[in-house]
Amino acid sequence: MAQMSGVRLAERQEKEIQKYIDMGLYISVSEFIREAVREKIESMKVIDVRKVNYKQAKKEVLDFLSENKEAYASDISESLRLDIDLIFKILKDLKKEGRIE
């Protein structure tokens, strides 16, 4: 495992982290920081969006929703590798059609 240089935190941040440790959510400041870094790296991943027409995308979204009863638009976008704006449009249309709640 790579060793990194120390991180300077504001006193307020240190106190917030310590609260989470005291609550038993983390065992150390290092664990908290490692988790925060993992989450940040994961959130910055770029989705390689596929180009599909609206009709095909809508079918894929319906198939996805039939297997996953509840999902966020971002989950659908990431899983199907479809543009998030397209997902929002499809979900809006499906709601208007009464096919989803």
Average pLDDT of the residues of the chain: 90
- Are 63 and 86 found together in one domain? yes
88, part of any domain: yes
Q: Do residue 64 and residue 32 come from a single domain? A: no
DSSP state of 60: H
pLDDT of residue 7: 80
Give the count of domains, the chain: 2
Where is average pLDDT lowest: 21-35, 42-56, 58-72?
A: 42-56
**Structural domain span for residue 74:** 54-96
Tell me what the mean pLDDT of segment 1-13 comes to. 80
Q: Are 58 and 80 in contact (CB under 8 A)?
A: no
- Which tokens hold the place of 17? 């982290």
What would the mean pLDDT of 78-87 be, rounded to a whole number?
Answer: 93
CA dihedral 57, 60, 64, 65 (to 10 degrees): 70
Answer whether 0.85 is exceeded by the pTM: no
Examine the domain organization and report whether 62 and 89 are in the same domain: yes
Look-up: residue for tokens 């998030």? 84
pLDDT at 46 over 80: no
Residue-level pLDDT at 64: 96
Q: Which residues contact 65 (CB under 8 A, 6 or more apart)?
A: 71, 76, 100
Q: What is the pLDDT of residue 70?
A: 85
